Amino acid sequence: MLTRKQHELLRFIQTRLDETGISPSFEEMKDALDLKSKSGVHRLISALEERGFIRRLPNRARALEVLRRADEGGQAAPAAGSNVIPFTKPEAAAPASAPDVIEIPLHGRIAAGVPIEALEDQAILPVPAALLGAGEHYALEVSGDSMIEAGILDGDFALVKRTEIANDGEIVVALVRGEEATLKYLRRENGMIRLDPANAAYEPQIYAADEIKVQGKLAGLLRRYFH
């Protein structure tokens, strides 16, 4: 059984897909269900996904597939003619000259100086697909100047591949002592972890291995040229 809101959202998604072949945006879903924030939509989407009614396709913007259609009573039946409804119709594909765009979570700010808290916001950042490779990604807004010699500036958006494994010399998002996150070069030295800046004005930060957890490694950057 689905809750009333879950049922309403599923019907709204499948109706929009039937009519246009394109999944509604999170803003449209929020307005349709009269929710106060997009975080409520995220929770409903996750619940429908866990119950096997929809599926989110990785690395595609607004990529939802309906696996099971809700009937009038809130129960579910297999989608007619297929076990999925395509997210987009083939004829609605973007022109070849237009870049594919992927929507990835924007989780707040991260320090490129001394560590600061990495916020867990629910925002979404559209990113050209060409900037990302395979795997799950998220974005963080850079704060500070300790990575400027690596071309990473204050206000840039760091595009991060989610992983807990990184090699020496890679730029990573490092969670320090379970509390603060920072963007630095990772190096292992005599059983310790050294987080190196890319700015001669800053000193390396050295920690015990169990004080550092890799949360991802840098995959790309986005930069705004306005204030």
Which residues are part of the catalytic machinery? 146, 184
DSSP summary character for residue 99: P
DSSP summary character for residue 164: S
Give the whole-angstrom CA distance, residue 217 versus residue 226.
Answer: 27
> Which phi and psi angles does 152 have, rounded to 5°?
-105, 115
E strands, the chain, in order: 54-56, 64-66, 68-70, 76-78, 101-111, 123-128, 137-143, 157-161, 171-176, 180-189, 192-196, 205-208, 212-222
The amino acid present at 10, given as its one-letter code, is L
Nearest C-alpha neighbor of 215 from the set 177, 139, 162, 176: 162
> DSSP letters of 16-38?
HHHHHSSPPPHHHHHHHTT-SSH
